[in-house]
Amino acid sequence: MADVSHTSYLPPILTFCAGAVIAVPLFRRVGLSAVLGYLAAGIIIGPSVLAVIKDPDAIRGTAEIGVVLLLFLVGLELQPSRLYSMRKDILGAGLAQMALSAGVIGAAAWWFGLSVGGAVAVGLALALSATSIALQLLEERGDGNEPYGRRTFSILLFQDISIAPALAILPLLATTTEAKPGGAGQALTGLGIAFLAIAVIVLAGRYVLNPFFRILAKTGAKEVMTAAALFIVLGAALLMEHVGLSMAMGAFLAGVLLADSHFRHELEADIEPFRGVLLGLFFMAVGMSLDLKLVLDNWLLLALAAPLLVLFKIAVAASILRASCSSMTEAVRAGALLSPAGEFAFVLLPLGVSLGLLDERQGAIATALAAISMLIGPVVAKLIDGVLLSRAAPETMEEDFEGVDAPSVVVIGFGRFGQIVTQALLLQHVDVTIIDSDVERIRSAAKFGFKIYYGDGTRLDVLRAAGTGKARILCVCIDNKDAALRIVEMAKAEFPNVRLHARAYDRIHAIDLMKANVDYQMRETFESALGFGRVTLEGLGLNYDEASLVIDHVRDRDAQRMEIQFTEGIAAALNKVPRVTPEPLVQPKGKSKALTPETQEVIEDGGAEVAVGGVGEPER
């Protein structure tokens, strides 16, 4: 009979996958973070509830690789020059947050009866924030490059750097309580070895990694590049762990050193799938580590301590960031992201227990407090974010049309399209009036020297007040199809002597505008696409006149097609224009080739949404 022992690892894997695919979509469906879904799944399948997984520590080591890969990808986004430019936020706000939070939390722990060493261990562990949770929430919001997102990351980065001295301080504290004789010298020696390891990684990243990847790239084997990326990340992490520092710090350092590499984007693509899966596994391991029996036995203490810890960390971070010239809204949003305890609390607290700074019960309660803060922190962050954003009403201005005279041109909409249109008018010193309802665009228009009015261009009273009836041309440059049609129809009826020029969103919108009797319409991407095609033809060897002749022919054929559809309807002349989808204006010489079986099936089925060759305009 065949040995089937190799299947023993499949049930845990299936359990993790099932927990993720059930919990995460449910939490996302109700508007909560995926992190909460992973944590909840871990609690349910862990030893405290269903006990499907009885030993969470057995998978935590593997799960922590997710945090390692996350920090590597973060490092890839930070060139050393950018990191240097963040030094004030890192050393200023980061140091202040860590020192103040650790000091107050440690003092509270000492007041509750912990030894000085134990209080320091708890203070350091709970002062740290969850890098993975904060970055995940920033990624879900798309706010990584917002000012509050950058400041949040700066504080997180300082915390990750502070792991090294924290891991050195605890053995030193243990020696003062005679928990580990001779530990002071060992700790100082370990610190020297740690700095040596950092120097090795820096030198390797500077002089070895790029040539190494260049050699591998020449082989053309993508799987070798993936293996090399994992080798570099995990190798740096393992080296840091062996010298007493955090694995995440080693991975982050490797990422920063490769941030300027030509292979950065390929490395990011290779690592990303592993990062997502293992990071989810890490959160599930944190959930499994929560001892519900211990929580129930100490429910009053934890019920008071966890919310107080979260609110205290929000207050500390928000106060520090507010003092550094952040707005109150940004400061509070950043503080909310930093409120959960960090992943490294599950490293520092067990270390404190092993060194004798904490007894088993104290360590378990502190660990449960850290895990609960990771559960409620993202919920509090979401609630705070919702409240702050709901109060942040869009900035408005009073409509004021005093002093309006007769402009030559009225332009409605000063976005990217309207700005380009008005450049030509500005060059000829044409008298232009701008109407827009976006305050920032109004401020941008002020730089051009135009007459600018804040208002809704779909309102007749606004058009009248802006002097549209006396203008020669009204340019409708907004990207809202329905609103543009309303403006055209209203202007045609109220200002019959004013020429109407309109921006068309696509072909169907252009035909609708033509039916509304505009004097001129232009599809927003048509001419730019033709110009792009002309330059491409020149790149293939045609001279300017030859390429322009081809483009003129395409333009004429498109105009003929537009005329047929305007006069006879969208479905008119089916033998010429069967449908308004991407299609060739001239018959291609060769037949299309499907590169995959799925594509071939779509072509054979007559899929309307597939462009198979030639020149056409994709409708949106």
- pLDDT beyond 80 at 443: no
- pLDDT beyond 70 at 580: no
**Best-predicted range by mean pLDDT among 40-54, 286-300, 495-509?**
495-509
- pLDDT beyond 60 at 405: no
pLDDT at 573: 43
Domains 18-389 and 409-574 share a fold: no
Query: What is the average per-residue pLDDT within 216-244?
Result: 80
pLDDT at 477: 92
Measuring CA to CA, how many Å separate 117 from each of 159, 349, 353, 513, 586? Answer: 20, 12, 11, 76, 81
In which band, very low, low, confident or very high, does the pLDDT at 9 lie, cut at 50, 70 and 90? low
**Residue scoring higher pLDDT (194 or 553):** 553
**Best-predicted range by mean pLDDT among 164-168, 218-222, 272-276, 426-430?**
426-430
The per-residue b/e assignment along 68-101, b for 16 or more CB within 10 angstroms, e otherwise, is bbbbbbbbbebeeeeeeebeebbebbbbbbbebb
pLDDT at 92: 83
In which band, very low, low, confident or very high, does the pLDDT at 616 lie, cut at 50, 70 and 90? very low
Q: Is the CB of residue 477 less than 8 Å from the CB of residue 451?
A: no
Among 215, 212, 246, residue whose Cα is nearest residue 231: 212
What DSSP state is assigned to residue 7?
G
**Residue scoring higher pLDDT (319 or 35):** 319
Query: What is the average per-residue pLDDT within 336-361?
Result: 84
Strands (E), 420-552: 432-436, 451-454, 473-476, 499-504, 520-523
Q: What is the mean pLDDT of the chain?
A: 78
Strands (E), 246-291: none
**Residue scoring higher pLDDT (132 or 348):** 348
**Best-predicted range by mean pLDDT among 135-144, 305-314, 474-483, 559-568?**
305-314
User: Per mean pLDDT, which range of 105-109, 264-268, 397-401 is the poorest?
Assistant: 397-401
Domain residue spans of the chain? 18-389, 409-574
Query: Could you write out the DSSP letters of every residue in 446-474?
Result: HTTT-EEEES-TT-HHHHHHTTGGG-SEE
At the second CATH level, the architecture of 18-389 is Up-down Bundle (1.20)
Question: What CATH code would you report for 409-574?
Answer: 3.40.50.720
Query: What is the average per-residue pLDDT within 222-242?
Result: 82
pLDDT single digits (tens) 241-258 = 787 666 777 787 888 777
pLDDT single digits (tens) 509-529 = 888 899 888 999 999 888 889
Among 190, 378, 208, 364, residue whose Cα is nearest residue 289: 364
pLDDT at 574: 45
- pLDDT beyond 70 at 435: yes
Percent of the chain with pLDDT over 90: 12
